[in-house]
């Protein structure tokens, strides 16, 4: 279950992460608490870069920062030689504030706002990844106003649905993202970009899905993308960059059997090489955008067990001090997780319980039916694999503060994101002039 090197059981029988006792972390920082393991994050990054250095040296790994975006994570990514994929004005701003070079940033999104495009052009991002005809016109105008020529890629839909067992046959044409290769829109989009004076087409991008375990859908996507490069070559359009997105799976429960993150990168890079050789294409600059696989398993969330309620012969709930405001993934996707009683790691599982959140909503669960030692109020519960799409998807439902994030490394811990006070949440509240404050 604790299949990560950085998670250990210490002599006190407590869960340890990055050399820090989770019971001490809970005492020092309170709960709920997101904890991120720096060594794990850096190891995954180093695995990607070492693998690609040897297999396909003309590459860039861009961290998909929607998974977890804070200033310090961009600093770490930059130190590890990664770039970043951002999808909003504030992700861009955070990336720049965290020291990411603009030239290592790709700006994505299916409906980027005019202000966001203006910020991207002003910052000088490496590429804006165009996702609609509307966006081309808008971006061209913005670039023209700034007297700049903006490099762009085009998000294409290669028609592979990686989320079915039949991904080979299935083609998702109903996606809100990208231009379809199959119906000719993608080529039309790229030809249209050629008519804009202030846009410069550099390559194509696809992202076929997330939490994918098999290599096959990625390899199929490479086939389709390189076929498309051939088609573009025939009309005289060179493709300098090929961005294959992210999507590599991680372990949430023992049902999940992902490969090592670097193995996905290796397989994709090798497939690109093979396809280019076979189709007589110049090898493009290869970009990969992993998010979840870098930070997912690096994170755990610590909770204090509060109310325990048994509905006789039906169900036992243990409620914790978190919930859908800090982890909406069960409510949204019925996501599954593994958890442990972090203060009692030597005790064996005795009962099946459902971990409930504290929000006023029946669907506010974190884990349904998990085997745990008999929990008592005050116990420390750790949910594993919460580093990706947790903090970044958190909200203030019921006016709950979003928990702080602590980074751990070699027995040290410190804030990456500080705690939110009630005052901070109320800070932007104001009174319309006709409402009189009492």
Question: Are the C-beta atoms of residues 358 and 327 closer than 8 Å to each other?
Answer: no
Residue 416 in contact with ligand LLP, rule: CB under 6 A: no
Applying the rule CB under 6 A, the residues between 292 and 311 that interact with ligand LLP are 292-293
DSSP state of 113: -
Strand partners, 337: none
If phi > 0 it is left, if psi is from -120 to 50 it is alpha, else beta; for residue 28 that is alpha
Site string for ligand LLP, 139-178 (x = CB under 6 A): ----------------------------------------
Confirm if 59 and 49 have CB atoms less than 8 A apart: no
Element housing 187 (H / E): helix 185-193
Structure tokens at 218: 């990625």
Q: Is 85 in the site for ligand LLP (CB under 6 A)?
A: yes
DSSP state of 39: H
Cβ atoms of residues 406 and 418 within 8 Å: no
From start to end of 173-329, where are the E strands?
A: 179-180, 199-205, 241-243, 285-288, 299-311, 315-320
Please, which residue, 381 or 388, has the CB nearer to ligand LLP? 388
- Given a contact cutoff of 8 angstroms between Cβ atoms, the answer to whether 115 and 135 are in contact is no
When asked if residue 246 is in the footprint of ligand LLP (CB under 6 A), the reply is: yes
Q: For ligand LLP, which is the closer residue by CB, 209 or 404?
A: 209
* 413 lies in the binding site for ligand LLP (CB under 6 A): no
Q: Which of residues 271-290 bind ligand LLP (CB under 6 A)?
A: 289-290
Q: If binding is defined by CB under 6 A, does position 261 make contact with ligand LLP?
A: no
405 binds ligand LLP (CB under 6 A): no
Q: Please report how close the Cβ of residue 392 comes to ligand LLP at its closest, in angstroms.
A: 8
Q: Does residue 90 carry a catalytic annotation?
A: no
Residue from 74, 325, 337, 389 touching ligand LLP (CB under 6 A): that is 389
# residues contacting ligand LLP (CB under 6 A): 19
What SS3 state is found at 274?
helix
Count of other CB atoms within 10 angstroms of residue 181:
21
Q: Is 329 in the site for ligand LLP (CB under 6 A)?
A: yes
Classify residue 194 as left (phi > 0), alpha (psi -120 to 50) or beta: alpha
Residue 210 binding ligand LLP, by CB under 6 A:
yes
404 binds ligand LLP (CB under 6 A): no
Q: What gap in Å lies between CA 211 and CA 133, rounded to an integer?
A: 29
Does residue 258 touch ligand LLP according to CB under 6 A?
no
Which region, judged by CB under 6 A, interacts with ligand LLP, from 231-239, 245-253, 396-404, 424-432? 245-253
- Catalytic-role residue among 62, 276, 359, 360: 360
207 in contact with ligand LLP (CB under 6 A): yes
Q: In angstroms, what is the minimal distance from the CB of 375 to ligand LLP?
A: 26
User: Residue 374 Cβ, how far from ligand LLP at the closest point, in Å?
Assistant: 31
105-144: which residues touch ligand LLP (CB under 6 A)? 108
Of 29 and 389, nearer to ligand LLP (C-beta) is 389
Question: How near is the Cβ of 431 to ligand LLP at its closest, in Å?
Answer: 36
- Output the smallest distance, CB 235 to ligand LLP, in A: 26
Q: Which two tokens stand for residue 276?
A: 């280019």
Which is closer to ligand LLP, CB of 85 or CB of 326? 85
For residues 189 and 141, the answer to whether their CB atoms sit within 8 Å is no
Cβ-Cβ contacts under 8 Å for 280 (sequence gap 6 or more): none
127-130 and 105-107: which strand pairing?
Answer: parallel
- In the three-class reduction of DSSP (H, G, I as helix; E, B as strand; rest coil), residue 78 is classed as helix
- Judged by CB under 6 A, the chain residues 332 through 351 that form the site for ligand LLP are none
Residues 6+ apart with CB under 8 A from 377: 305, 306, 307, 308
Q: What are the residue numbers of the active site?
A: 360
Binding site for ligand LLP (CB under 6 A): 64, 67, 85, 108, 207, 210-211, 245-248, 289-293, 329, 388-389
């Amino acid at each position: 279950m604790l299949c990560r090197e950085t998670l250990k059981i210490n002599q006190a029988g407590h869960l340890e992460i990055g050399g820090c006792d989770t019971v001490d972390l809970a005492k020092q920082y309170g709960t709920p608490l997101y904890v991120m393991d720096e060594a794990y994050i850096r190891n995954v990054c180093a695995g990607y870069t070492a693998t690609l250095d040897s297999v396909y040296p003309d590459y860039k790994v861009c961290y998909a920062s929607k998974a977890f975006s804070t200033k310090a994570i961009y600093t770490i990514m930059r130190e590890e030689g990664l770039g970043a994929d951002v999808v909003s004005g504030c992700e861009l701003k955070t990336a720049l504030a965290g020291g990411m070079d603009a030239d290592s940033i790709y700006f994505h999104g299916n409906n980027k706002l005019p202000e966001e495009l203006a910020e991207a052009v002003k910052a000088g991002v490496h590429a804006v990844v165009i996702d609609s005809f509307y966006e081309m016109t808008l971006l061209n105008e913005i670039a023209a106003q700034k007297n700049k020529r903006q490099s762009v890629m085009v998000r294409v839909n290669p028609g592979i649905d990686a989320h079915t067992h039949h991904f080979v046959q299935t083609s998702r044409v109903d996606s809100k993202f990208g231009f379809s290769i199959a119906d000719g829109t993608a080529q039309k989009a790229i030809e249209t970009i050629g008519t804009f004076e202030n846009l410069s087409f550099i390559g194509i991008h696809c992202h076929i899905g997330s939490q994918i375990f098999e290599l096959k859908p990625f390899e199929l996507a490479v086939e389709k993308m390189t076929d498309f490069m051939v088609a573009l070559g025939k009309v005289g359009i060179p493709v300098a960059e090929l961005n294959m997105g992210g999507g590599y799976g991680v372990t949430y429960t023992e049902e999940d059997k992902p490969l090592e993150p670097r193995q996905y990168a290796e397989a994709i890079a090798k497939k690109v090489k093979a396809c280019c050789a076979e189709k007589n294409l110049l090898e493009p600059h290869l970009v990969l955008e992993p998010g979840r696989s870098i930070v997912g398993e690096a994170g755990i969330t610590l909770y204090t067990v509060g109310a325990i309620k048994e509905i006789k012969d039906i169900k036992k709930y243990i409620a914790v001090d978190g919930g859908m405001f800090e982890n909406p993934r069960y409510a949204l996707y019925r996501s599954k997780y593994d958890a442990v009683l972090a203060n009692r790691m030597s005790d064996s599982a005795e009962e099946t319980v459902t971990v409930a959140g504290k929000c006023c909503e029946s669907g506010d669960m974190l884990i349904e039916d998990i085997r745990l030692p008999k929990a008592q109020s005050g116990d420390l519960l750790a949910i594993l694999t919460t580093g990706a799409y947790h903090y970044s998807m958190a909200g203030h439902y019921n006016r709950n503060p979003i928990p702080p994030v602590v980074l751990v490394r070699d027995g040290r811990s410190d804030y990456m994101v500080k705690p939110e006070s009630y005052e901070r949440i109320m800070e932007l509240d104001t009174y319309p002039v006709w409402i009189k404050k009492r």
